[in-house]
């Protein structure tokens, strides 16, 4: 099979680029620990409130863990519990979420916080909230008529700035 010289260059260049991309993704994932939600914990979706930590949804400060805050969240058609999340700037936070009924999304728009919530599974994502502001949280997986009215809010506040202004 004959390959033109330019075609060889093109394929070497193209394939080389793809390999470079993959190496960057691989280093990001397996060296720097940047993974999407890969949690494999399961739960009985019909009784989520009977189990830790979903018996106490909300924002909790935690001690002795790799992260400072835990956000425990339950989604159901068509709302989130808690309805609003407030976190201090630069907090390392673990989002722990599940659904009580159908599949929902959990995305803080304009951020990397974006995961699917599926019945029977606990979704988890750990990140540092390093930019102040109010982020709209939307359900981004169709869940029924009220889907576009299913939202909540993530507030990232700078504790020092708040003291200054008041």
Partner 1 sequence: MQQTIVNKIMKVDPRDGKLAMANIYVAFIALLVGGLAGLLQVLVRSGQFTLPWGIGYYQVLTVHGILLGLILTTYFIMGFQVAAISRTVGPLTNTQRKIGWIGFWCMTIGTVAAATMVLLNEATVLYTFYAPLKAHWIFYLGLTLVVVGSWLLIVPQFMRYIAWRKEHKGETSPLLAFMVTVNNLLWFVATLGVATEVLFILLPWSLGLVERVDVLLTRTLFWYFGHALVYFWLLPAYMAWYTIVPKILGAKIFSDALARLSFMLFLIFSVPVGIHHQLTEPGISGLWKFIQVVLTFFVIVPSLITAFSMFATFELRGRQLGSKGLLGWFKALPWKDSRFLLPFMGMVAFIPGGAGGIVNASYQMNQLVHNTIWITGHFHLTVATTVALTFFGVAFWLIPHLTGRVLTPKLNFLGVITGILWATGMFIMSSAMHIVGLLSGAPRRSEYSEYGGATQAIEWIPYQIAQAVGGTILFIAILLITYVVIQLAFFAPKGEQDFPLAELSPGAEKTPAILENFKVWGVILVALIIFAYTIPIFDIIQNAPPGSKGFNNLW
CB closer to partner 1 out of 6 and 165: 6
- Binding piece for partner 1, criterion CB under 8 A, among 24-32, 57-65, 87-95, 157-165: 24-32
* Residue 113 binds partner 1 (CB under 8 A): yes
Structure tokens of 29? 């994932």
* Residue 116 binds partner 1 (CB under 8 A): yes
Task: Name the helix (H) or strand (E) containing 165.
Answer: helix 159-165
Structure tokens of 83? 């309805």
* Residue 1 binds partner 1 (CB under 8 A): yes
Residue from 45, 53, 60, 68 touching partner 1 (CB under 8 A): that is 45
* Residue 128 binds partner 1 (CB under 8 A): no
Residue from 55, 112, 159, 162 touching partner 1 (CB under 8 A): that is 112
Other Cβ atoms less than 10 A from the Cβ of 154: the count is 21
b/e burial code for range 33-63 (CB count within 10 A of at least 16 → b):
eeeebeeeeebebeebeeeeebeebebeeee
The C-alpha atoms of residue 119 and residue 64 are separated, in whole angstroms, by 30
* Residue 114 binds partner 1 (CB under 8 A): yes
Cβ contact 143:102 at 8 Å: yes
Q: CB neighbours of 104 closer than 8 A, spacing ≥ 6?
A: 75, 76, 77, 116, 117, 139, 141, 143, 150
- Binding piece for partner 1, criterion CB under 8 A, among 53-61, 64-72, 87-95, 105-113: 105-113
- Binding piece for partner 1, criterion CB under 8 A, among 50-58, 65-73, 87-95, 108-116: 108-116
* Residue 54 binds partner 1 (CB under 8 A): no
* Residue 55 binds partner 1 (CB under 8 A): no
């Amino acid at each position: 099979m004959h390959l033109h010289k330019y075609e060889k260059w093109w394929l070497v260049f193209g394939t080389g680029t793809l390999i470079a991309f993959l190496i960057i993704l691989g280093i990001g994932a397996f060296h720097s620990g940047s993974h999407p939600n890969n949690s494999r914990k399961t739960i009985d979706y019909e009784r989520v409130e009977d189990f830790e930590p979903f018996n106490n949804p909300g924002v909790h400060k935690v001690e002795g863990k790799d992260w400072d805050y835990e956000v425990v969240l339950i989604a159901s058609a068509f709302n989130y519990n808690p309805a609003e999340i407030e976190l201090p700037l630069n907090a390392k936070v673990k989002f722990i979420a599940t659904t009580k009924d159908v599949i929902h999304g959990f995305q803080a728009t304009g951020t990397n916080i974006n995961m699917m919530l599926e019945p029977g599974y606990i979704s988890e994502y750990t990140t540092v909230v390093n930019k102040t502001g109010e982020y709209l949280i939307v359900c981004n997986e169709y869940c029924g008529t009220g889907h576009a009215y299913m939202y909540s809010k993530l507030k990232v506040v700078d504790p020092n700035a708040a003291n200054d202004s008041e």
